[in-house]
Structure 1
């Protein structure tokens, strides 16, 4: 896959430069850690992170009492992740887990890297226990993408293209991930319908980053009674 090769090529840059301090000490300007605390919350048992990358969220998940386990398709990223959590190289559309086997799943800033994200969500619903929690953190469909110019931090310019739904490497900056590997854009209703179509029931939503939101987050539940 093109995305796989691209992330393999940029893995060292991603870990050493894009994440700033790198690893568990990286800065968190988007408030992802707070979103994980709030939406995932304390619990026990396995928390499967799909598209775990270099594993930078593992410590946060572990601090909530959960056991982080990661899957990613890019071997270069997993090379950095192995020291932070148990990992497996796998396609998120074919997760190597039994039906109803995990109590929690996390996807953090990866849905634009997965053209088949609706199929990924169906896999999430398959491996979750009845009542299990799935937390999605992703770039905000309304304010991020090839159509959004974030060059002025105080005023995002949204140009035509939001409704198109497409893969692109277009970006307002050549210093970020998207200019290097591209991204798949889905308008907000399409993304939300993908949760529903997979059988995941939304419970809470949140936004972070500012002054115009960069992240849209959701906590959903699989069908069945809560554990």
Structure 2
């Protein structure tokens, strides 16, 4: 099966990532450090893409492993962490086999994200941590006109929960591969229905947040 990101993998690695977000303007690196915390153990990155977060996860003391549907993206990730090509709704891992898991700016690429969360709950060891870092569901999407970062305009569409290629910029990813959207209540309910327990929340980016992170843990069985 050919994944949408296969078509843009080289652009993503060589043009989009290197100059797109200098520093940590969205607070993604801070969220990984503070919400994932120190290892040791095996940390699974779901939707790892080109593996750009593996070094930071490793620096925290974890042993990173990654899964992604896109062979093109994994071609760039192969030297950065152990990888497997897999559908995130059917992870090729035993129940309770990983100590922690993360997904970073990837949940909108997963149309069946509630099913992904159920798989996360299955593969985590009892009490294992899962950190979701994604675009902010209330301020990012086809409904959010961010052409002026100081005055984000929220148009009709937030409540619809839909897939779209509509984008306020031609320099990003959504206009090329599309994105799925869940309103905040639907997103948080999916965590609860997967059996994940909330431990903390973080926003990042200014003046209107772009990133929303959720720290959870699996049930103690």
Tell me which interval the TM-score lies in, with the shorter structure as reference length.
over 0.9
1:143 aligns with 2:139: yes
1:12 aligns with 2:10: yes
Q: Of 59, 62, 70, which residue of structure 2 is paired with 1:63?
A: 59
- Indicate the residue corresponding to 1:171 in structure 2: 167
Q: Tell me, in whole angstroms, the C-alpha distance in 1 between the residues paired with 2:69 and 2:77.
A: 12
Per-residue deviation, 1:174: 1.2
1:159 aligns with 2:155: yes
Aligned residues: 221
Say which SS state the counterpart of residue 54 (structure 1) adopts.
coil
1:191 aligns with 2:187: yes
Q: Which portions of structure 1, spanning 4 or more consecutive aligned residues, are displaced by more than 2 angstroms?
A: 25-29
Q: Tell me, in whole angstroms, the C-alpha distance in 1 between the residues paired with 2:60 and 2:186.
A: 31
After TM superposition, the score normalised by the length of structure 1 is: 0.94
- Preserved CA contact (<8 Å) 2:134 2:213: yes
Q: Tell me, in whole angstroms, the C-alpha distance in 1 between the residues paired with 2:147 and 2:8.
A: 23
Q: Tell me, in whole angstroms, the C-alpha distance in 2 between the residues paired with 1:51 and 1:10.
A: 15
Per-residue deviation, 1:21: 4.9
- Indicate the residue corresponding to 1:48 in structure 2: 44
- Indicate the residue corresponding to 1:100 in structure 2: 96
Per-residue deviation, 1:153: 1.2
Deviations 1:79-137 (A, max 9, x none): 00011101000000000110011110001011100010000000000000000000000
After TM superposition, the score normalised by the length of structure 2 is: 0.97
Give the unaligned 5+ runs of structure 2: none
- Preserved CA contact (<8 Å) 1:133 1:220: yes
Q: What is the aligned-residue RMSD (CA, Å)?
A: 1.4
